[in-house]
Structure 1
Amino acid sequence: MQGCDIQHNLKRAVAFHQGGEIEAASQLYLRILAIEPDNAQALHLMGVAAYQQGRCDAAINLIEKAIERDDTCADYHNNLGNACLEAGRAGEAAGHYRHAIRLQPDYGEAHFGLGNACYQNGDHQEALSSYATAVALSPGFAEAHNNMGIVLGASGQTGRAISAFQNALLANPVYMDALHNLADALTRSGDYGQAVAAYEKILQMAPESARIHAAMGNARHAQKNFSEAIRCYRRALAIAPDLPSAHNDLGTVHMDLGQLDAARRCYRQCLRLQPDHAGACNNLGILCKLSGKYDEAVRWYRQAIRLKPDFADAYYNLGHVFGRQKQILPAISCYRKTLSLRPDHIRAHAYLIRQLQHGCMWADLADAVRQLRSLTDEPIGKGVNAGVMPFLAFSISDDPRYNLAVSRSWCRRAFSHFQPVRGPEQDRTDAGGHSDDRICIGYLSGDFKNHATAHLMASLFQTHDRSGFKIHAYSYGIDDRSDYRRRIETGCDRFVDIRALTHRDAALRIARDGVDILVELKGHTEGNRMEICAYRPAPIQVAYLGFPGSSGADFMDYMISDAVVTPPGHAAWFTEKLVMLPHSYQVNDRLQKISAAPVSRRDAGLPDAGCVFCSFNEPYKIEPALFDVWMSILRQVPDSVMWLLETADVTGGELRERARKCGIASNRLVFARKISKKRHLARLRLADLALDTRTVNGHTTTSDALWAGVPVISMLGTHFASRVSASLLHAVGLGDLVAESTAAYETLAVTLAADPEKLGRLKGRLEKNRLRMPLFDTGRFTRNLERAYRFIWRRHMCGQPPISFNAGDAGRPD
């Protein structure tokens, strides 16, 4: 073959190559190389063909030989970079791209390749710089815009990533990868409407893409548009029945709807198709936790972690279960592992704080709170909730402004997509409505069982005036067959178990039942279903009892309160209008039983002599400064002891160690195990004085002590949760036990303990007041509450908006 023949065959080979006939081109390159083994151009093009056929090692070998013959061609170095990159040799690839750029600085494709290599090497900054140069040299370089978006997204710069994908689409409007990336980025940014529009555009070009239907399902799910999400996932599975991720994601929608059996079937199917799907294992763990099957949940979470050792959410969920099982140290370990994997996991920060509080592990607590607030205060201040739970907020801050900001931002994030299930036509009017003119009150809770809420409310339901009110209860908690559950069931005109209903179906049931005023009893406490209220099933919705602060929700009209927990000026820190009851906002059960069985100090593990101070609040309410005050009180009152609630072993150990550092022998802390309520009230009578906690007061705990005849010393705080005991003490005629400062609190405790006669007179006053003053007068409380309900309903019927008001006192019966 002569030189002219070689050039002719080389042109023919290139033509074949450019036409996609790579095998034909390769045969010609081989013929040329058989005659002229050092032909750099043929070696290079043969290497490019090998690269296009996926034979990277052969490609690298051939292109390196071409470069040995001719080191001055930028194309050779660029394509060698491509082959090395494809072979997973990103470091070498970067060197070849740089060589190409030195030979030809305006070589856009080499800058693009360098960006790809740097990204694979984890150097995001140089990758972005390289892509920026590529698009500056060639503004229509769609792939460079797209890859720039990928790097920006991986760097957490979602807004800039979206712009980059949009630029890619300006250059190539039918660029599928860029469209898909744009839709995914919009989903991450929370712009679900635009994300859905992008997915729909992709489906116009690829209507049978199961993965795109599934991705659109994710966006619809994020919008809380559950029916559309289900439709998308089912369409994906109709196209690709064996798509594991779609089964998993469909299961998650069912779980969010409360359809746990359907969710379980989806997760099981996912695992049948892909046994190593860690996400499905994690989700089965969540299902087991929701069902109270904690040991089984632990097994699923551990399986998820075995399959995916860096699975942050599985560690986080495992921490939840350990927390429920009172295994504080394992829970803390899980949350710390979560944060080592994802330092910005706000909920892990929050629940770590919760477990440190429960363990009274104060050495680490202050720093954990500082870290959480440094990550979240700025977005919360802008109305964006970063994951701080309202229930945690009031225990780490007594600033009502902060508490409201957390609750409001939480609700904005969690409930903004809910649509009312009731229409205006369902409202009663003066001209018509129910044939029954009584006001229908619906109480909504998951705590109609042996729970603090039921302990307080058990007598309320039966005490309501049936001539003016119909009383419904809607329960989404377990039926524990306790006396509390039975009393509430029999005390209502209608008791409805809605556990099996989705949030929306539960709301529809409440609306169909004609509830006029829905009273929500859990607020932001764990296990709540505020989603039901977000669907607006009743014309008037009232927050009460469970959560000591504003819900922050625009779908709650009123909150039941009093002038002590929400004094003048505090209304600004509530989104609800305040219903000011005349004595205390907190209902109490006048029929609460106290065991008649005798109990001695020795039975309770208490010393035979000496003053017994007690605080049966949960440990998370105890703060180090207040505990030190308790120890100072013990130092000043010889032979006195502090009687506390027994919880986890680690908590007792931490408190004993703190006591020792305060100079108090560990045996002066006595821990009481949990027993039945009526037996607990009986043993409470062994105490001389109850010492309240500060930032989060006792609520039911304070009522229990007072009902048992034990005076409670409290301090007046600055937010709802720190003023509850003051409200209760004033309502039982013991307002003089509310201290204005820590020093006054300590002095009062020491003074009373040192003067048995004065303490005896105080106990005698409490014994008289228990049945005479308003606090434990359930009938009087109920009549005052009903006055408030009537006022609320009259305003509604007249078309007037909610207002804050004083309910007034119906007084004692004649």
Structure 2
Amino acid sequence: MRHHQTGQLVQAEQGYRAALALEPRNADALHLLGVVAYQRGHDDAARDLIGRAIGQNAGVAAFHNNHGNVLGRLGRHADAIAAYREAVRLQPNHVEAHASLAALLSQQGEAHAALTAIDRALALRPADAGKHVNRGNILRALDQGEAAIAAYQRAIELDPTLAAAHNNLGLALVAREEVEAALGHYRRAVALKPDYTDAYANLGNALQDTGRSEAAAEAYRQALALQPDHGDARLALAMSAIPIIPATVAAAAETPGAFAAALDALATWAAPHPERLRDAAGRSQPFYLAYRPADLTDTLRRYGDLVAAPQTLRDRPMPPERLRLLIVSAHVRDHPVWRVILQGLLIHLDRARFDVAVFHTGARTDEHTAWAAANVDTFVGGERSVAAWRARIAAHRPDIILYPEVGMDPVTGALASQRLADVQAAAWGHPITTGLPTIDLFFSGAALEGPDADRHYRERLVRLPRTGVSIAWRADQSAPWPGPERTPGVVRFAVCQQPIKFDPADDSLLTRIAAGSGACEFWLVMPNRQRWAGEHLVARLRGAFARAGLDPDRYIKVAPWMTARAFNGYLDAMDVYLDCPAFSGFTTALQAVQRGLPVVTLEGRFLRQRMAAGLLRDIGAEDGITDTPDAYVDRAIGWAAAVRDKAAWARQRASLRRAADRALGDPAPMLRLQDELVAFATKRSA
């Protein structure tokens, strides 16, 4: 025992074996030898030894607790949970068993049960700072951010030197958009624990999220200096080559090449041990690369080859009469992915052809989540680790997995990089190829794609009818916009997409429109998160207007973030909606036309530059579609003149509002999607 207590594991093992040579059924010696095996990483031997100890004496809580530790590390989570529960049944005041049970339940997505378990541990040991950290982690999984922050703060009160409390408080503050405060706690964490690689990586993530890419890269390098095989930091370092919102035209143009070079370095690092990078898949993704208006197909294909796990397909029998379709999304709630893609899909799926399951990987839920859960055969929600989600998918045994928005969520990004079903497909929730070899089909819309679009996808492109979606959502509730009264004769342009969509090369289009439109205002809307990006965009546009000899105060106007109803009122108060040329918006354009607000869009080569144009073409409102920058400017200027004939413009808005109804309710895209899935599944099994 003395050797064991002082960490001399080899000598401890020798002592326990000597005891067992004299008494082979000594339960304590079997148990402690199993603990040594566990500490030395010999998990199978540990499981056998502790199991034999339990066979000799099943009434010792410590035996079951340590058995749970071993089983958990072996991935036998249900057995581990049962072991911890037996430990606390035998010894209700076993603090560590309650805490271990809480941690494993949380990992498996059973956050409410986990909270009960950790609260029992804290009732027994209320001054244990580490347990308060665990409680905060569980509360974060339950999307109870305020309570999580309070738990971490309590841990820091009890032990100000506990680095994990500062690190995890940083995570909770980032979720609440208090990134600057989070940076302070990450820095405190690494000051307290200079070898805290995860805290350095989180520091880098927060710096990257605030647009400080160079500082982020330095934080990732510090993590890698401590742990060169840290896959998360290595992948994040590559992503730091992609600025969230470039400051200049040159910086934007250089981004694809800089990321390609970062992939070269990543490939060199990953070559000896590719699994280290694949284990990090999803946690950092090239999401912001899509906002650069270039052909990114080959670059994303290279990225996909690096992060995707080798494909292992099970034997393919003929598909059953009713295929098991699994939809995996982090946005089964009020979100553009739900409004435009998911809701209509769930309404129109033929339940005679498909057994439908939805796995909601996000923490946030609302009435739409509840509706989805009530209208499918199987619904699973709650935050889980990627491994836990993978296990749930394996247990469900889907024939087909559909990911509506690959690239927008870390869990779905990680899952999509693995082969978990014979047929795997993506939809255009993130309107660019996934680049992943594990995704077979990409569902888009005939109205959205250009004639050469197939070359822009690694997947097989499927052009569904019209815009590829069956929309049931309406922007039909509004509240008066509390903006300033309009100055007579002033035209108001809505420039209201997320700041990341505005490419610096297009700033001059706005100055040209301003110069040719007479008295006018350009109304931007601050984002709900990454407010700094909105401030950066405003400053950049003010600079562009000043350089063009135009008074920024006169032209550039800013509205705060607003609720959906207030945003509809804002659209009512605008005269013309200017779509972003580099990254067109579908949902916002849909809202605009439903409010009768005419849309000017510049249709480009790629899906992400054609979203609004496809919608306008679909509803027969093609007069807002342009094909060159000059035509975009001319159309906006022409409409600014037309706005001043109030009666005629009101009639045009009313006509557009009626036309917008044509976008709604058509089941044809979803019926075709189902035919394509069945045909592809049948072909795969042949």
What is the TM-score normalised by the length of structure 1? 0.56
CA spacing shift, 1:380–1:308, aligned 2, 3 Å? closer
Which residue in 1 is equivalent to 2:216? 335
Q: Give SS of 1:568's match.
A: coil
Which residue of 607, 613, 623 corresponds with 1:726?
613
1:303-349 deviation per Cα after TM superposition (whole angstroms, max 9, x unaligned): 2331366978745523534666xxx37x5684265378689977357
Q: Distance in 2 between matches of 1:228 and 1:396?
A: 47
2:584/2:610 contact within 8 Å kept: yes
Residue 373 of structure 1: CA displacement?
Answer: 4.1
Which residue of 659, 673, 698 corresponds with 2:545?
659
2:422/2:684 contact within 8 Å kept: no
Q: Give SS of 1:561's match.
A: strand
Whose relative contact order is higher, 1 or 2, with alpha carbons under 8 Å and at least 6 apart?
2
Which residue in 2 is equivalent to 1:166? none
Which residue of 794, 806, 813 corresponds with 2:679?
794
Which residue in 2 is equivalent to 1:376? 262
1:779-814 deviation per Cα after TM superposition (whole angstroms, max 9, x unaligned): x1x33322331243134235568xxxxxxxxxxxxx
Mean CA deviation greater in 670-679 or 743-752: 670-679
Q: Give SS of 2:299's match.
A: helix
Q: Distance in 2 between matches of 1:568 and 1:520?
A: 25
AA aligned to 1:347 is A
Which residue in 2 is equivalent to 1:394? 290
Which residue in 1 is equivalent to 2:358? 473
CA spacing shift, 1:570–1:466, aligned 2, 3 Å? same
Q: Distance in 2 between matches of 1:680 and 1:723?
A: 23
2:603/2:609 contact within 8 Å kept: yes
AA aligned to 1:740 is D
Q: Give SS of 1:424's match.
A: coil
CA spacing shift, 1:732–1:745, aligned 2, 3 Å? same
CA spacing shift, 1:497–1:300, aligned 2, 3 Å? farther
Which residue of 623, 638, 644 corresponds with 2:518?
638
Which residue in 2 is equivalent to 1:445? 329
Q: Distance in 2 between matches of 1:709 and 1:381?
A: 50
Which residue of 663, 670, 692 corresponds with 2:579?
692
- The reply to whether residue 304 of structure 1 matches residue 189 of structure 2 is yes
Residue 763 of structure 1: CA displacement?
Answer: 2.9
Which residue of 560, 564, 571 corresponds with 1:677?
564
Identity among equivalent pairs (%): 18
Q: Give SS of 2:506's match.
A: helix
1:562/1:585 contact within 8 Å kept: yes
Q: Give SS of 2:617's match.
A: helix
Q: Give SS of 2:681's match.
A: helix
Q: Distance in 2 between matches of 1:287 and 1:637?
A: 46
AA aligned to 2:302 is S
Q: Distance in 2 between matches of 1:682 and 1:317?
A: 39
User: Which structure 1 segments of 5+ residues have no match?
Assistant: 1-206, 215-226, 233-250, 802-814
- The reply to whether residue 626 of structure 1 matches residue 510 of structure 2 is no
Which residue of 308, 332, 345 corresponds with 1:415?
308
Which residue in 2 is equivalent to 1:557? 440
2:239/2:285 contact within 8 Å kept: yes
Which residue in 2 is equivalent to 1:354? 243
Which residues of 2 match residues 267-666 of structure 1 at below 5 A? Answer: 284=168, 288=172, 298=183, 300-307=185-192, 314-321=199-206, 328=210, 331=212, 334-335=215-216, 337-338=218-219, 347-348=236-237, 350-351=239-240, 353-355=242-244, 357=245, 361-362=247-248, 365-366=251-252, 369=255, 372-373=258-259, 375-376=261-262, 378=264, 389-399=285-295, 403-416=296-309, 423-424=314-315, 427-429=317-319, 433=320, 437-456=321-340, 457-481=342-366, 483-490=367-374, 492-494=375-377, 496-510=379-393, 512-513=395-396, 515-595=398-478, 597=479, 599=480, 603=483, 606-607=486-487, 609-647=489-527, 648=531, 650-651=535-536, 652-666=538-552
Which residue in 2 is equivalent to 1:68? none
1:617/1:645 contact within 8 Å kept: yes
Which residue in 2 is equivalent to 1:804? none
Q: Distance in 1 between matches of 2:514 and 2:177?
A: 42
- The reply to whether residue 751 of structure 1 matches residue 638 of structure 2 is yes
Which residue in 2 is equivalent to 1:51? none
User: Which structure 2 segments of 5+ residues have no match?
Assistant: 1-35, 44-69, 76-101, 119-129, 135-154, 226-232
1:507/1:536 contact within 8 Å kept: no
2:465/2:672 contact within 8 Å kept: no
Residue 713 of structure 1: CA displacement?
Answer: 1.1
Q: Distance in 2 between matches of 1:309 and 1:507?
A: 34
1:468-508 deviation per Cα after TM superposition (whole angstroms, max 9, x unaligned): 54443210112333x43344334x22352343444344345
Residue 440 of structure 1: CA displacement?
Answer: 4.3
1:550/1:574 contact within 8 Å kept: yes
1:146-168 deviation per Cα after TM superposition (whole angstroms, max 9, x unaligned): xxxxxxxxxxxxxxxxxxxxxxx
Q: Distance in 1 between matches of 2:235 and 2:253?
A: 14
Q: Distance in 2 between matches of 1:484 and 1:212?
A: 46
Aligned length: 535
Residue 677 of structure 1: CA displacement?
Answer: 1.4
Which residue in 1 is equivalent to 2:668? 783
CA spacing shift, 1:791–1:460, aligned 2, 3 Å? closer
Q: Give SS of 1:409's match.
A: helix
1:696/1:721 contact within 8 Å kept: yes
Residue 460 of structure 1: CA displacement?
Answer: 4.0
Q: Distance in 2 between matches of 1:567 and 1:259?
A: 46
AA aligned to 1:320 is N
Q: Give SS of 1:442's match.
A: strand
Q: Distance in 2 between matches of 1:506 and 1:673?
A: 37
Which residue in 2 is equivalent to 1:768? 658
1:342-371 deviation per Cα after TM superposition (whole angstroms, max 9, x unaligned): 89977357447434x1xx633884497388
Which residues of 2 match residues 94-113 of structure 1 at below 5 A? Answer: none
Aligned-residue CA RMSD in angstroms? 4.6
